A and B are shown apart, each in its own frame.
Chain A
Amino acid sequence: MIPLNVEFDVDYNGKPIHIKSKDTAKGVIYVATYPGAKDLFIHRATNAQGDHFWTSIPEGRQQAAERIGQMIDEYFHDHEND
Chain B
Amino acid sequence: MCYYNGIKVSRGEYIRLKDLEVFVGKNREWINCDLNQGPLYNQPYPIVKATDTGPELKLMEWGYIPEESKWPFLKSREELAKWRFMYTTLNATCEGLFVNDKGKTSMYAGAAQYRRCLVPSTGYWEWRHIKQVGKSGKILKDPIKIPYHLVVTDHQENNPFYMAGIWGTWVSEETGEVVENFTIVTTVANELSAQVHNAKKRMPTILNEDLAQEWMFGKLSKDDIMDIAKTQYETKEMDAWTVAKGFQTAFNPRDKFAYAGLPPLGSDEPFNPYQSLSLF
Residues of A within 8 A of B (CB): 1-7, 20, 22-27, 29, 31, 33, 39, 41, 43, 45-48, 53, 55-60, 62, 65, 79, 82
- In the complex, which residue of chain B has the Cβ closest to the Cβ of A60? B5
Docked-complex contact B17 and A55, CB < 8 angstroms: yes
Rounded to whole angstroms, the CA-CA distance of A1 and B23 in the bound complex is 21
A26 to B17, CA, bound (A): 9
Please, which residues of chain B bring their CB within 8 A of the CB of A26? 16, 19-20, 23, 158
Could you give 5 example pairs across A and B, Cβ below 8 Å? Answer: A3-B30, A4-B35, A5-B34, A20-B32, A24-B27
Are A31 and B251 neighbours in the complex by a CB distance under 8 Å? no
- Say yes or no: A43-B158 contact (C-beta < 8 A), given A1-B125, A24-B27, A79-B251: no
In angstroms, Cα B237 to Cα A14, docked, is: 49
A48-B1 in contact (CB<8A): yes
On whether the beta carbons of B121 and A62 are closer than 8 Å, the reply is no
The reply to whether the CB of B8 lies closer than 8 angstroms to some CB of chain A is yes
Contact of B7 among A29, A31, A53 (CB under 8 A): A53
8 Å CB contacts to A: which residues of B12-34? 13, 16-17, 19-21, 23-25, 27-28, 30-32, 34
In Å, the complex CA distance between A20 and B16 comes to: 22
Residue of A26, A60, A79 with highest tally of chain B CB at under 10 A: A26
In the complex, given contacts A24-B158, A29-B24, what are 10 additional A-B residue pairs having Cβ atoms less than 8 angstroms apart? A2-B121, A2-B160, A4-B35, A20-B32, A22-B31, A31-B31, A57-B21, A58-B21, A59-B5, A60-B5
Asked whether B122 is an interface residue with its Cβ less than 8 Å from the other chain, the reply is yes
Taking CB atoms, residues of chain B closer than 8 Å to A43 are 17, 20
Q: Count A-B pairs with CB separation below 8 Å.
A: 105
Chain B residues in 8 Å Cβ range of A33: 32
Within 8 A of A (CB), among B26-49: 27-28, 30-32, 34-36, 46
Residues of B in contact with A (beta carbons under 8 Å apart): 1, 4-10, 13, 16-17, 19-21, 23-25, 27-28, 30-32, 34-36, 46, 120-125, 157-160, 251-254
Nearest B residue to A79, CB-CB: B251
The 10 closest A-B pairs by CB, nearest first: A1-B124, A62-B5, A2-B121, A48-B8, A1-B121, A58-B21, A5-B35, A22-B31, A26-B23, A2-B122
Cβ of B157: which chain A residues have Cβ within 8 Å of it? Answer: 23
Which of B5, B30, B253 has the largest count of A CB atoms less than 10 A from its CB? B5
Minimal Cβ-Cβ distance residue in A for B157: A23
Q: Would A65 and B5 count as touching, CB distance under 8 A?
A: yes
Give, as a whole number of angstroms, the nearest-CB distance from B187 to chain A: 16
Residues of A within 8 A of B253 (CB): 4
Q: In the complex, are the beta carbons of A55 and B32 less than 8 A apart?
A: no
